[in-house]
A and B are shown apart, each in its own frame.
Chain A
Amino acid sequence: MASLLTKNERQLALGISILLALVGLAMAGAGDDRAYAAHGILIMVFGVGTAFLTISGYHAPEPPEGRLAQYYDDPSKVGIVLAMGWAVFGMFIGDWVAWLLAYPEMTFDAAWSSFGRLRPVHTTGVIFGFGGNALIATSFHVMQRTSRARMPDQLSPWFVLLGYNLFCILAVSGYFMGLTQSKEYAEPEWYADIWLVIVWVTYLVLYLRTLARRQEPHIYVANWYYLAFILVVAVLHIVNNLAMPISLTQAKSYSAFAGVQDAMTQWWYGHNAVAFFLTAGFLGMLYYYLPKRAGRPIYSYRMSILGFWGITFFYMWAGSHHLHYTALPQWVQTLGMTFSVMLLVPSWLAAANALLTLNGAWHKVRDDATLRFMMVAALFYGLSTFEGSFMAIRPVNSLSHYTDWTVGHVHAGALGWVALITFGSIYAVVPWLWKRQGMYSAKLVEAHFWLALVGTLIYVFAMWNSGIIQGLMWRTYNESGTLAYSFIDSLIAMHPYYVARAIGGLFFLIGAVIGSYNIWMTVRATREDSREPIADRPVPAVARDRALQSGE
């Protein structure tokens, strides 16, 4: 790995690694609380580790000039493997949390395994670990192809990828130790947040530098979505995490916001995390890998542009729908509701554009599970954006809010849309990156597809039922005007759905494990035999026909 860096890049990589290790050492030595010191040790070990990686290739000769005539794909490859590792980890924790809700004794009496700690481990693991790594890996692949330009250097993609994973590890290990600033999807404390800003700005600069080197006159629309994802996530992350640490030697901090302003800032962040992390970036994937895999240009390029600006400018205002019936001024709630309903237009433009691209290639969707992953992802995108607009309407929200319906909605989007488009894109890109004819096993891709689809459907239907029952029980009054059901009554009614949800999640997890195995075998096959495999190549139609004729 390090031997492919230029000598200058190796020096810089070593310098950054040593600096990181020293910062970690200082945190470990000066830290007033144990969790903070533990994070210091973790950062130090990480810095020492990357220093050793650099040293291992430090005295190798300069990499050949010929590399400049090729795209730089090593960071994408590592990113995909990391993404699948995080997927299995995050989904395992997710399914554990699901069983925990049905059987509360499954914390096994430990503090680190309580619901409040495991839940952010799950959300961070799947959103940032799995989703984030997949976005970084595919964005590196897409930005180079659509620009027809190699990345400007070889160090910054590694800094972005490994630095980002350090952030994810700090986040997850912090939750286990009880560190959180209690902002949903922004739980990590101030030092991890500062580190992510450095990594993220490097990411933005790398993307812009690659685009600046492009050999295409027009910047392809997938890049717009990836750029919106990078740029807006930077803005959201910085603003929502503005905080004053208690001291430089302690993990805790005070948010810059208080009261309803804090709630509004948090949900402006939270909903735009859905919009720009979980939607814009993945639409970037969709607009590249779907036409590429189907072998057809996108149905309407103009629709994709209108959809882009609609999504970027409407989503910004939708966050306040999370705060219906709160202390937030009524007109701000109404504003959020209105923009959420308007969002249906650009969202359905994107979903329709994807499905219309496939119109005329349905035989490919039938035969190719990879393309089917992307097609079903577009369907779930359409479904969950419709549901989201609907749930943002204030009276509907009075039934759905704080119930499992919200959880079902989120997972229709996260499993059905985000995870399926990611798996589809990964199955498309892995053979391209590792120069193989196809995946190790097409049957396993097929199995993964059905496990993922069945798992998502079980999950979503269980939560729809549970959520609506819960919502109705909470608002049912008896003749004397008091609540007909106690909270515990609603819990008992939800129990069977919780078991069903955990089973659905298990299906989805097994699918991800199978996918990881399949990807690993595809990677290993190349390592053992770098020539193209001849044995499992399908017989060309012409040759087959000839063979038939000769037999007659």
Chain B
Amino acid sequence: MMDIGHSALVGFAKSYGLFYLIAFSVAVLVYTYWPSNKKRFDRASKSILDDEDKPCP
């Protein structure tokens, strides 16, 4: 069995951790600013102001 020591774990965390978090940030930015998502976001932010206090049938 391969021995995973402290330094190996730290090395992995320091390198891989950096890249996956950057990749994740990029993915979130792309999702947020994707032009075709804008309409859906606008609708969502306005729809809560609708005062009809009943579930849709």
* A→B interface (CB under 8 Å): 69-71, 144-146, 148-150, 215-218, 220-222, 288, 291-292, 295-298, 301-302, 305-306, 309, 313, 329, 331, 432
Contacts and interface: CB of A to CB of B under 8 A. Distances in A.
Contacts, number: 69
B31 to A, nearest CB: 7
Please name the 7 residue pairs, one residue from A and one from B, whose CB atoms are nearest each other, closest first.
Answer: A215-B56, A297-B45, A301-B41, A148-B56, A218-B44, A309-B28, A301-B45
A149 B56 contact: yes
B33 A70 contact: no
Given A146-B48, A288-B48, A313-B24, A302 B41 contact: yes
Given A291-B49, A306-B32, A221 B44 contact: yes
A465 B49 CA distance: 44
Contact of A69 (B10, B49, B57): B57
B3 interface: no
B47 A295 contact: no
Interface of B: 10, 14, 21, 24-25, 28-29, 31-33, 40-49, 53-57
Given A218-B43, A288-B48, A291-B48, A305 B55 contact: no
Nearest to B21: A313
Contacts of A306: 28-29, 32
Nearest to A69: B54
Most buried by A among B28, B43, B45, B56: B45
B53 A220 contact: no
Contact of B33 (A150, A291, A292, A302): A302
Given A292-B48, A305-B32, 6 more contacts: A70-B55, A220-B45, A288-B48, A306-B28, A309-B28, A331-B14
A411 to B, nearest CB: 31
Contacts of B47: 216, 220
Given A302-B33, A306-B29, A313-B21, A69 B55 contact: yes
B45 to A, nearest CB: 4
Given A288-B48, A306-B29, A217 B40 contact: yes
22 contacts: A69-B55, A69-B57, A70-B54, A71-B54, A146-B48, A148-B55, A217-B40, A218-B41, A218-B44, A220-B44, A220-B47, A221-B44, A292-B49, A297-B46, A301-B41, A301-B45, A305-B32, A306-B29, A306-B32, A313-B21, A329-B10, A432-B53
Nearest to A306: B32
Nearest to A309: B28
A163 B45 CA distance: 33
Contacts of B40: 217-218
A146 B55 CA distance: 10
B48 A145 contact: yes
A360 to B, nearest CB: 15
Contacts of B41: 218, 301-302, 305
A353 to B, nearest CB: 11
B43 A150 contact: no
Contacts of A146: 48
B43 A297 contact: no
Contacts of B42: 301
Contacts of B28: 305-306, 309
Contact of A331 (B10, B46, B48, B54): B10
Most buried by A among B10, B41, B57: B41
A286 to B, nearest CB: 13
Contacts of A150: 55
Contacts of B55: 69-71, 144, 148-150, 215
Most buried by B among A71, A149, A302: A302
A216 B44 contact: yes
Contacts of B25: 309
Nearest to B24: A313
Contacts of A329: 10
Contacts of B56: 148-149, 215
